[in-house]
Amino acid sequence: MPILSENDYAFDLILQAAKDGAAAALGAPRLTPGLKLETRIVYGEEIGFMVRLLEIFAGPGGAYSQFIYGDYLMGKKFLEEGVPYAILLIGATTSPSPLAWDCGACGYPTCAEFNHSVNESKSAGMFGYGPSCNWLMMDFGIAMAQASAAIYAKNVDSRQQGSYGVAGLLLGMLPGMDVVLANSVGPMSRGVFQEWYSRPDMKGSFSMDKIYDMLISTFAFHFGGFSGDGIPMIKTKDDWFWEPFKAGKGPMPEATEILQQVLEQAGEVTLEYEQWQQAQNHGEEGAT
Amino acid sequence: MKEKIYEFERYHRPKNHTLEVARLAANAAMTAPKTGGVDGVECEILTGDDLLSLADTMEQESHAFPESTKRRFLYEAVMVRESDACLVVGHYRSAGTPMDVGCGFCAGRMDCSFVYNARKTEHGQIDLTAVTPEERRKVPFNGPMCVVRNLDLGIAVGSALVITQRLLVDAMPLYTVSVAAQRQGILPRSWMKVAILMASRQKNPYVDILPDYHLHNLSVMEDDLRKIYVTLRMVYWYDYKSWYPKWDDGSGSDPGKE
């Protein structure tokens, strides 16, 4: 057909922008000689599994995290409407440290002691694995910035997102990585800085009451913790992080229970994804 | 009025142009994406004598490090002297005001206890004034720090480098220069910082580095040439006003001064 419309080539453009982003990340300037960095581009059905994980993380109606809820709603909408977009995953291993710089930023006086700690106690937090070498992590940040700039140069909407990154990490899309961040690439239907920033499709999904509840809970609070979930922890004592005390809610002993529940549900999706992958591979083998 | 751009110091070097790029790169660092949109990045640009002082500090600091690292300090001190500008990008939240999100990057835990327990705190407020100067000097960067903040710092550095790449100014972020900037107390609020060297020369001063580069770099070569040449002018005492030497075969005399 001699005439093409954006419907014919939108996904090609998005995929090319994601590839440019990946190349920029892999070829980014580095502070260290030791960063192991990998990239993946995810699209189609595979994003569906990520969206399901975000739904679990966000909780019913965004009860656990409003900002993840927004990421979930947009991803769900794009999938349901078949809007072309892709997710560029960028991952890195941030420990052990090969540097021997003994810089101290990690809290250990030497890299050898840091690496010993990695061997003894490497484990996962909310976003990824630690301990981390700060210089390797900064190299990872440099790569993320370079990827974003490359995508931006194509005038394709994109946003760095921890939410889809954690989903990719949990689903094993970048095995062996300690940290994974996502760059959502596209859609490009309304221009740069529309879909993943102002999120026009969330129109009407929350009330003024909710906004004021959030403002009252989070606004300018000296003893407040992370405010991204709309109900920050309050630092009521030195070990505030072990017994959550939430603004407007007081102590939340059920928080640990909710976290456990979220992790179990996430585990189910992860298992389902593995089975789906096996079925896909089996189908491909059968076809050949 | 004509504006001339040459490479060597006896001519106009393009320092102002590099400085403009450094300012734009600093702007890119400031506007780079941040976790949760939280501010934390600050910048300082060093030029001229401040660069020479930075290089001196690197050479002094080099002695505290093992041989392989020491070499990096010495070689990269040369690069500082050959730079037009150094952009220092710091994060003033890395040590004192963590993200509080339990990301796990600092210690693999679901909470921020590793960072908070390592510092003096009062109701979750980290008191950095409790860290003595002696304690701070034990390591170049006193931690533990919030790794998410430092990830943001990396993103800011990456954004700054995008500008230098787009504008074709050679730039290099370096650990050793960052240590020197820290030791000099540049951006004192930022306990973590990255120094980016920038230069507009016809040969990139940050690549193709010889062994013992601190002894065999262009500045040393130029200086040695000056030293040798100036002295060799006095090997034969020659009064150019009164005569012009003949070649051994008798040719080439200046008839007017024979």
Find the closest chain A residue to B94 by CA distance: A105
The reply to whether omega before A175 is within 30° of 0 (cis) is no
CB atoms near residue B25 (< 10 Å): 31
What is the pLDDT confidence band of residue A232, given thresholds at 50, 70 and 90? confident
Find the closest chain A residue to B34 by CA distance: A160
CB within 8 Å of B206: residues ≥ 6 apart: B79, B170, B171, B172, B197, B199
Indicate yes or no: CB of B106 within 8 angstroms of CB of A107: yes
What is the pLDDT confidence band of residue B10, given thresholds at 50, 70 and 90? very low
d(CA A159, CA A185): 7
What is the pLDDT confidence band of residue A220, given thresholds at 50, 70 and 90? low
The three-state DSSP-derived secondary structure of B189-216 is: CCCEEEEEEEECCCCCCCCCCCCCCCCC
Interface mutation vs chain A, best among B61, B89, B100, B135, most A CBs within 10 Å: B100
Q: How confident is the model over B5-30, as a mean pLDDT? A: 78
Q: Give A44→chain B minimum CA distance, Å.
A: 27
Q: Which segment, A147-161, A195-209, B171-185, is predicted with the most confidence on average? A: B171-185
Secondary structure (3-state) at A109:
coil
- Considering only residues B57 and B221, tell me which one the structure prediction assigns the higher pLDDT: B57
Q: What is the pLDDT of residues A70-111, one digit of tens each?
A: 899 889 988 998 889 999 999 999 999 999 999 999 999 999
Of A138, A160, A223, the CB nearest to B194: A138
The pLDDT, as a whole number, for residue A66 is 78
CB within 8 Å of B126: residues ≥ 6 apart: B95, B96, B97, B98, B115, B116, B119, B120
Backbone angles phi, psi at A221, to 5 degrees: -110, 110
Q: Which residues does chain A have within 8 Å of residue B162's beta carbon, measured at their own beta carbons?
A: 145-146, 149
What is the pLDDT confidence band of residue B8, given thresholds at 50, 70 and 90? low
Indicate yes or no: CB of B140 within 8 angstroms of CB of A103: yes
| Range of weakest confidence among A60-64, A159-163, A240-244 | A240-244
Tokens representing B148? 């998410």
Of A123, A144, A232, the CB nearest to B155: A144
What is the pLDDT confidence band of residue B243, given thresholds at 50, 70 and 90? confident
Q: What is the residue extent of each domain of chain B?
A: 15-210
Q: Which long-range contacts (CB under 8 A, 24 or more apart) does A224-227 make?
A: A225/B100, A225/B101, A225/B124, A226/B36, A226/B99, A226/B100, A226/B101, A226/B102, A227/B36
Q: Give B64→chain A minimum CA distance, Å.
A: 11
Of B94, B110, B156, the CB nearest to A125: B110
Of A134, A179, A239, the CB nearest to B145: A134
Interface mutation vs chain B, best among A114, A117, A134, A184, most B CBs within 10 Å: A134
Q: What is the pLDDT of residues B98-132, one digit of tens each?
A: 999 999 999 999 999 999 999 999 989 999 999 99
Amino acid letter, residue A166: V
Of B65, B99, B142, the CB nearest to A226: B99
Indicate yes or no: CB of A104 within 8 angstroms of CB of B113: no
Q: Which residues does chain B have within 8 Å of residue A107's beta carbon, measured at their own beta carbons?
A: 106, 114-115, 118, 143-145
- Give this complex's ipTM: 0.76
Indicate yes or no: CB of B154 within 8 angstroms of CB of A137: yes
A210 by Cβ neighbours in 10 Å (0-12 / 13-18 / 19+) ranks as middle
Q: What is the pLDDT of residues A186-200, one digit of tens each?
A: 987 766 667 787 777
Q: How confident is the model over B127-145, as a mean pLDDT? A: 95
Q: Is the pLDDT of residue B11 over 50?
A: no
Indicate yes or no: CB of A145 within 8 angstroms of CB of B123: no
Q: Which residues does chain B have within 8 Å of residue A109's beta carbon, measured at their own beta carbons?
A: 138-139
Strand partners, A158: A185
Q: Which segment, A152-156, B40-44, B250-254, is predicted with the most confidence on average? A: B40-44
Of A108, A126, A227, the CB nearest to B102: A126
Domains of chain A: 6-206 (3.40.109.10)
Strand partners, A185: A86, A158
Q: Give A261→chain B minimum CA distance, Å.
A: 15
Indicate yes or no: CB of A137 within 8 angstroms of CB of B175: no
Interface mutation vs chain A, best among B126, B147, B182, most A CBs within 10 Å: B147
Is domain B15-210 classified as CATH 3.40.1210.10?
no
Secondary structure (3-state) at B129:
helix
Q: What is the pLDDT of residues A4-41, one digit of tens each?
A: 888 789 999 999 999 999 999 999 999 999 899 999 99
Indicate yes or no: CB of A145 within 8 angstroms of CB of B138: no
| Range of weakest confidence among A28-32, A134-138, A232-236 | A232-236
